[in-house]
Amino acid sequence: MAKFVVTPANEEQRAAWQSRVAMPEVERVRPGLWSIPVPIPINPLRYVLVYALELPGGVVIVDAGWNTDEAYRALCDGLSVAGYSITDVKGVLVTHIHPDHYGLAGRVRESSGAWIALHPADANLLHDRYDDGAIDALVEKERRILVRSGVPRLTLDELAGASMMIRHMVSMAKPDRLVEDGEALGLPGWDLRAIWTPGHSPGHLCFVSPERRILFSGDHVLAKITPIVAVHPQSGPNPLADYLDSLAAVRKWDVDEVLPAHEYRFLELAERVDHVMLHHEERLAEIEAVAADVASGISCWDIATRLTWSRPWETIPPFMRRSANNETLAHLVWLESRGRLRRIAGDVDLWVPA
């Protein structure tokens, strides 16, 4: 794939990301807009970029961070650099329900009385928490996905147990406000609009300011990495189709700068979107070719082990192999939906050329 490299909006922020150790600075991005890096525990992404938007008498933040004391302190300290305290937070606009974005929102509300806003499709994923045994049911669903993918029995327990994400999701605060696609958020001084961008998460939202020509992209579009788009118990039925549509939905906006939740800010939205689309097209072609190679049919897991990953398959830790399997499955489901592959359903589903 021809390499396209985005232009960082701030070279120092990019350098901090690249260093793998340094935290970027709390930064005034523009008048009335701040970027606050909030650490994520034991994760190679290292931090979430929380954005604080100044309003008369306070701020609204985009995303909140992971629910740890360290993250809460970093958020409070960052706000004080901007001249605010946690009690000045009027609202939390959450891009999606993942714990590095939503985890801390409840605590911010407790401290400040802020509202919490989320898309209904992600809010729906929370309701399970009120049922006893909800987590067990989700883990069981995940197990079924892995079994039908053809994950070997010995590997299964190792993989199915790695459900940290699910556990965190079912212990989170309820939102006060549901935000729909295209909704104008009505923040004084801001012409901010929500763009529903399902794929990475069913209710993922981006926020665009046409006047300021900026896009808050959450995990949907990032400078270097691509977000995980996978079939799992809380995904949509065809998450890759959603994701590719959502890429097209943000590409329409003519903006000067993309403000993502990880890594660093950058300039070229359309080119980056095209590059990510191309990446998935190549992945789809690779998966189709592997499936075409075995006339009798091949399982999702066996396909996953044959693909090129960023490191040798044997060295990938269990929870990442599970993601790899479920990402492969998202591509298979997409190929099936376009009539390029056929699924032979069974105890283990096998994939053959259509």
Sites of contact with Zn ion (CB under 5 A)? 98, 100, 219
Minimum CB distance to Zn ion, residue 3 (Å): 24
Please say whether the beta carbons of 291 and 341 come within 8 A. Answer: yes
Task: Return the bridge partners of 58, or none.
Answer: 55
Least Å from the CB of residue 277 to Zn ion: 19
Residue 98 near residue 201, CB atoms below 8 Å: yes
Q: Are 103 and 65 in contact (CB under 8 A)?
A: yes
Is the CB of 88 or the CB of 219 nearer to Zn ion? 219
Nearer of residues 156 and 319 to Zn ion, judged by Cβ: 319
Q: Closest approach of Cβ 114 to Zn ion, in Å? A: 20
In the complex, residue closest to Zn ion by CB: 98
- Under DSSP, the state recorded for 25 is P
Query: Radius of gyration (Cα) for the chain, nearest Å?
Result: 20
- The number of residues in the chain equals 354
Q: Least distance to Zn ion from the beta carbon of 99, Å?
A: 9
Query: Which of 90, 262 has the CB closer to Zn ion?
Result: 262
Q: Which is nearer to Zn ion, 98 or 148 (CB)?
A: 98
Quote the least distance from Cβ 56 to Zn ion, whole Å: 30
Whichever of 98 and 119 has its CB closer to Zn ion, that residue is 98
d(CA 174, CA 149): 33
- The minimum distance between CB 262 and Zn ion, in angstroms, equals 6
Residue 116: which H helix or E strand, with range? strand 115-118
Q: Between residues 244 and 261, which has the closer beta carbon with respect to Zn ion?
A: 261
97 closest CA partner among 205, 5, 19? 205
Identify any residues that bridge with 38 across adjacent strands, giving them in sequence order: 48
DSSP per-residue codes, 286-346: HHHHHHHH-TT-B-HHHHHHHS--SS-GGGS-HHHHHHHHHHHHHHHHHHHHTTSEEEE-S
